[in-house]
């Protein structure tokens, strides 16, 4: 079901309004967005080396200078080159949040969800929780990674449902550009992109292996052409660093495990999803210091060395979105054996909605469990997959969890609207 153009424009306008509402202070020319990383000086320094840095550059900021390598020609570096440093610093997070929100709205629109449901979904996914509040910490490259991830999800649906190679190439472009941003988060997201692409293909086309290969090979080739050289350079750098560390007797598997999983999401802190500030706002915040255990250094209880905790974002999503997500799953479960009917109609939308809700419920659960890291026993198996042991901070899976929750909340809201509309129609019919 396609929505009228004015409805699509409404979603875009509302998304821009959210960005202006939250970042409105940045209109003051005397203010700069504060973040603990990615400060204005660093951005200005990198910008000063562009466009030569696309090939390679040398920084004279240390005493004797050092080779800083190459800046990939990607989404972030392009905007960094085009915009003044202060505007880039103040508005780049908002730009990517708006982009991610619009692609999520397009994704939900293609599934026949109403405009209010789309707005509920994008608010939950990108304008609450860590996906918004991590702005305080900076983490500049995570935001374009999320934007390009959402573009990939939308494009891959089009690639699967519409025959032709064009959408496969668009998907490959989005995927390749995503890997030019923050590679560790991109790898985590890629597991879910691959699972969704396979699910979507089987749902639409069945398990036809030759067609599956023909549909996905152009994506992979295009993505590798864009990001392959950068990924190979990063991989070679990691291998070199690993060899250097292996020569040190202090580097042992247990230390590597502790280093990689230090920022694991403690399961008891899931209360933060519905109770803002219950465990404090963030580390070092005078009015609400964080007193949980995320980021705690191994052995801190015995030695009191390292971090007691360290957290700079808030993961509050809200009781209403969480309830709507659970409501969507509940409706699916109770309708599995029941006759077709409200809130699911006996149409193709029924099958799509149920399958989608089950998929994204599984995705949310898996992402949440993996975010537990060292607090989830099976993460140790995931940790031993190729390249995964070199990635720190399992709590990065919460970015994917929040997107999945946004999609589920949108479905839950849409089901609630349809249920109420059906009930109203039945009452009106009965009153006649």
Please spell the DSSP secondary structure of 324-374, one letter per residue: HHHHHHHHHHHTSSSPSBTTB-SSHHHHHHHHHHHHHHHHHHHHHHHHTGG
For residue 304, the model assigns a pLDDT of 85
Return the structure tokens found at 246.
């292996």
Mean pLDDT, to the nearest integer, of 8-23?
91
φ, ψ (nearest 5 deg) of residue 333: -65, -40
For residue 6, the model assigns a pLDDT of 60
* Torsion (CA) 133, 134, 138, 143 in degrees, nearest 10: -100
Q: So where are the chain's domains?
A: 1-134, 141-251, 261-275+314-432
Mean pLDDT, to the nearest integer, of 95-122?
95
Question: How far is Cα 133 from Cα 313, in angstroms, rounded to an integer?
Answer: 5
For residue 57, the model assigns a pLDDT of 63
pLDDT 10s digits, 34-47: 998 888 888 888 88
pLDDT 10s digits, 377-408: 999 999 999 889 889 899 999 999 999 999 99
The predicted model scores a pTM of 0.90
Q: pLDDT grade, residue 337 (50/70/90)? A: very low
For residue 342, the model assigns a pLDDT of 41
Give the residue among 29, 61, 64 at the shortest CA–CA distance from 45. 61
Give the residue among 214, 208, 111, 202 at the shortest CA–CA distance from 163. 214
Q: Are 179 and 224 in contact (CB under 8 A)?
A: no
Kindly give the residue spans of alpha helices, DSSP state H, lying in 162-287: 166-179, 183-205, 209-246, 253-260
Residue 185 has pLDDT above 50, yes or no: yes
Mean pLDDT, to the nearest integer, of 178-184?
93
Give CA angle at 145 (84, 390), nearest 5°.
120
Question: How far is Cα 20 from Cα 125, in angstroms, rounded to an integer?
Answer: 17
Question: Which residues lie across from 67 on neighbouring strands?
Answer: 58
Question: How far is Cα 72 from Cα 181, in angstroms, rounded to an integer?
Answer: 8
Mean pLDDT, to the nearest integer, of 239-268?
74
For residue 397, the model assigns a pLDDT of 97
Please spell the DSSP secondary structure of 42-109, one letter per residue: HHHHHHHHTTGGGT-EEE--SSS-EEEE---SSHHHHHHHHS-HHHHHHHHHHHHHHHHHHHHHHHHH
Q: Are 49 and 57 in contact (CB under 8 A)?
A: yes
Question: 347 vs 250, which has greater pLDDT?
Answer: 250
């Amino acid at each position: 079901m396609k929505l009228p153009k004015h409805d699509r424009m409404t979603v875009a306008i509302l998304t821009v309004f959210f960005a202006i509402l939250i970042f409105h202070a940045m209109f003051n020319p005397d203010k700069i967005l504060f973040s603990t990383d990615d400060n204005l000086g660093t951005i200005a320094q990198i910008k000063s080396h562009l466009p030569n840095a696309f090939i390679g550059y040398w920084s004279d900021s240390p005493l004797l200078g050092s080779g800083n390598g190459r800046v990939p020609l990607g989404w972030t570096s392009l905007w960094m080159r085009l915009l003044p440093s202060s505007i880039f610093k103040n508005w780049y997070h908002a730009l990517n949040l708006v982009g991610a929100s619009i692609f999520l709205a397009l994704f939900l629109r293609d599934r026949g969800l109403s405009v209010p449901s789309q707005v509920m979904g994008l608010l939950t996914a990108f304008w609450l929780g860590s996906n918004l509040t991590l702005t305080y910490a900076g983490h500049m490259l995570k935001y374009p990674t999320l934007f390009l991830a959402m573009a990939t999800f939308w494009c891959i649906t089009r690639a699967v449902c519409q025959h032709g190679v064009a959408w496969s190439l668009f998907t490959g472009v989005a995927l390749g550009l995503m890997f030019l941003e923050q590679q560790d988060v991109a790898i985590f997201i890629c597991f879910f992109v691959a699972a969704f692409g396979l699910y979507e293909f089987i749902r639409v086309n069945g398990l036809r292996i030759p067609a599956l290969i023909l549909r996905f090979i152009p994506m992979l080739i295009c993505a590798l052409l864009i990001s392959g050289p950068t990924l190979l350079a990063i991989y070679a750098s990691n291998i070199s660093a690993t060899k250097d560390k292996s020569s040190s007797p202090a580097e042992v598997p247990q230390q590597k495990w502790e280093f990689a999983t230090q920022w694991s999401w403690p399961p008891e802190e899931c209360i933060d999803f519905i109770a803002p500030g219950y465990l404090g706002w963030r580390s070092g915040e005078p009015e609400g210091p964080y007193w949980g255990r995320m980021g705690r250094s191994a052995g801190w209880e015995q030695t009191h060395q390292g971090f007691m905790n360290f957290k700079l974002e808030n993961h509050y999503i809200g009781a209403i979105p969480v309830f709507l997500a659970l409501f969507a799953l509940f409706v699916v479960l109770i309708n599995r054996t029941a006759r077709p009917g409200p809130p699911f109609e006996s149409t193709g939308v029924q099958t799509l909605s149920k399958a989608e809700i089950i998929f994204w419920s599984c995705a949310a659960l898996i992402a949440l469990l993996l975010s537990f890291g060292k607090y989830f026993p099976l993460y140790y198996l995931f940790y031993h997959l190729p390249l995964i042991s070199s990635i720190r901070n399992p709590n990065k899976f919460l970015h994917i969890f929040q997107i999945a929750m946004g999609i589920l909340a949108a479905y839950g809201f849409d089901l609630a609207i349809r249920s109420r509309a059906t009930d109203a129609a039945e009452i009106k019919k009965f009153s006649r």
